[in-house]
Amino acid sequence: MIKIDNLTKSIRGTEILKDITISMDKGRITGLVGPNGSGKTMLMRAIVGLMRPSKGSITLHGWNPYGPSKQEAARPSIGMLLEGPAFVDGLSGLENLKMLASIRGTAQEDDLIGALSSIGLDPKDKRKYRSYSLGMKQRLGLACAVMEHPDILVVDEPTNALDVTGVRLAVDIIKQEALRGATVVVACHDASIMSELAHEVWHLAEGHLEGHDVLDREGGEQ
Amino acid sequence: MRSFLMILRSDIKHGLKRVVLRHVLVFAVALFAGYLTYAAVFTTAGYIAIDYKSTMGDMVLCLFGGIPVYSPSSGKEFEFPMVWIAIFVAAAYVTLDYPLHDLQGVGATSIVISGSRWSWWLSKCSWVIINACIICVLWAITILIFTLISGSSFDLTPTSEGVMLSGLRSIDNQPHPLSLGMYVLSLLPLLISILLIQLFVSLMAGPYVALAATLAILFLSTFYMSPYLLGEYLLAGRNAAILTNGVDSGIGILFALGVSTISILIGGMIFTHKDILAGKANGND
């Protein structure tokens, strides 16, 4: 479960996130919607540990991503796709995943091949990342996010640059991860995709929460 | 530990590949700079017809001599040590932007997967140290080349003629120059300390500010004679081996080790609190 309590973030004197309190349950997909600049991506960066809150706290399955390193044993695995995915230009898709998976060493080659195949990328494709189209880059970003079957999955605009088939595959993968038990956070501008994916949706505007919809769908630990 | 080693492995494999051409540039600048001073030294020696038996120490002075002590109050015009600055700026350029480029790209994913900013930071510090080692090897090869070409003896003690011909004559010169062995040994730790400061500044304020900071350290060191300036110890012409009141390379090594340790520890602590926001990079070479 992801628990965000009174989270406020200021950058150079401007509050970009204001007093946000949300609880996100295991096995459920939580959607974040709002106009550009509403703070969705910043909130996601804060959740994955890339942006320290000015006030308030974040815990992921009880673990504080900004706490002391001695808590490492309790750390859940995190998969993320934020804005434009980034990889090593001179490596193929599989080689990129192998390099990143080696950091924790929990995902096996079969997991990586499975992740690539599930999003419609050929694991045997030797082309380098630099020659990938935008859609292929996005698919690789998604494969990377789910390759370790993480406890927490945070995806920002997962269907960006994807064709119809890619969108379908992306939606299916995200649903499967939630069914497996991951806590999933998704930001997406496409209302139809959000309504298909999310169990609940939080509306953000100018850095604060404006509203909350619970959609009629089963799943997760309440 | 595993995440540090795996990130370092990736940095060595991909980060070094990215800066190969910059290492070539370091070598080319050292060769060119060495040639300029070497040619000037031997042309002058021939012109004044002195019996000049050069040593490897003279070749070190050709490359790293810099300028004699400058006194702003003397009224003399400051002679910018272009050769010396060019050698170190080329070295600083090698590690200038890869860490930031990585952080704004695949490095952010590495940090999230590993859950440890320290692993990423220590890996980048290690990558900088590895690059400093490569640069010093290239400099050593350059000195060796000029030693062989000039038929100099493999002695790191410069000759009095070498000191004079390198433009480093001063009233404070040692009557008989001492060995530059300690100076040569100090080059690596001193270069590491400057590159680690640059690494920290580049992550906090960007590569251009970092390069400006490095230039400032180097320039101030040539302008003022102060044992509190790191660059002072990089000027072979101001070493105690050349000047009676010159800087001691042993102290320079300790100074560099202290600065490096502080840069790694304080830099790491500050980096763990840094916000990692989106950058321009969307792919790492």
Indicate whether B282 pLDDT > 60: no
Exposed, middle or buried: residue A18 (CB in 10 Å: 0-12, 13-18, 19+)?
middle
Beta bridge partners of A153: A79, A184
> What CA–CA distances, in Å, run from B19 to B23, B83, B121, B204, B255?
6, 22, 19, 21, 28
Decide if B280 touches A, using CB distance below 8 A.
Answer: no
**pLDDT number for residue B81:** 84
Asked whether the beta carbons of residue B116 and residue A86 sit closer than 8 angstroms, the reply is no
Indicate whether A32 pLDDT > 90: yes
Q: Which residue has the tokens 């190969």?
A: B20
Model-level pTM? 0.89
B281 confidence band (pLDDT: 50, 70, 90)? very low
A73 confidence band (pLDDT: 50, 70, 90)? low
> What CA–CA distances, in Å, run from B208 to A99, B129, B191?
30, 20, 19
Q: Which of residues 152-211 of A touch B (CB under 8 A)?
A: none
Q: What does the DSSP assignment read for B217-275?
A: HHHHHHHS--TTSGGGGG-GGGBTTTBTT-B-HHHHHHHHHHHHHHHHHHHHHHHTT--
Alpha carbon distance, N-terminus to C-terminus of chain B: 25
Residue of A nearest to B118 (CA): A69
B8 confidence band (pLDDT: 50, 70, 90)? very high
Give chain A positions within 8 Å (CB) of B285: 88-90
Asked whether the beta carbons of residue B285 and residue A88 sit closer than 8 angstroms, the reply is yes
Beta bridge partners of A204: A209
> What CA–CA distances, in Å, run from B40 to A25, B47, B49?
75, 10, 14
Q: Which amino acid is at B215?
A: L
pLDDT, tens digit, 9 for 90 and up, residues B176-228? 888 889 999 999 999 999 999 999 999 999 999 999 999 999 988 888 888 88
ipTM of the complex: 0.89
Distance CA(B78)–CA(B193), nearest Å, equals 27
Asked whether the beta carbons of residue B115 and residue A65 sit closer than 8 angstroms, the reply is yes
**pLDDT number for residue A72:** 64
pLDDT > 70: what percent of chain A?
A: 95
**Number of residues in chain B:** 285
Give chain B positions within 8 Å (CB) of A87: 105-106, 283-284
Between helix A164-180 and helix A134-146 the angle, nearest 10°, is: 10
Indicate whether B47 pLDDT > 80: no
Average pLDDT, chain A: 89
**pLDDT number for residue B60:** 92
pLDDT, tens digit, 9 for 90 and up, residues B63-83? 898 887 777 776 777 777 888
> What does DSSP say about strands A87-88 and A208-214: parallel, antiparallel, or unpaired?
unpaired
- What number of C-beta contacts closer than 8 Å exist between A and B? 90
Give the least confident one: A88-92, A150-154, B43-47, B113-117. Answer: B43-47
Asked whether the beta carbons of residue A100 and residue B112 sit closer than 8 angstroms, the reply is no
Q: Which of B7, B17, B282 sits opposite A86 (nearest CB)?
A: B282
Give chain B positions within 8 Å (CB) of A80: 109, 112
Distance CA(A76)–CA(A87), nearest Å, equals 23
Give the least confident one: A46-55, B36-45, B59-68, B273-282. Answer: B273-282
Distance CA(B35)–CA(B41), nearest Å, equals 10
**pLDDT number for residue B66:** 84
**Alpha-helix residue ranges (DSSP H) falling in A9-108:** 40-48, 93-104
Average pLDDT over residues B113-141: 95
Give chain A positions within 8 Å (CB) of B108: 50, 82, 86
Alpha carbon distance, N-terminus to C-terminus of chain A: 10
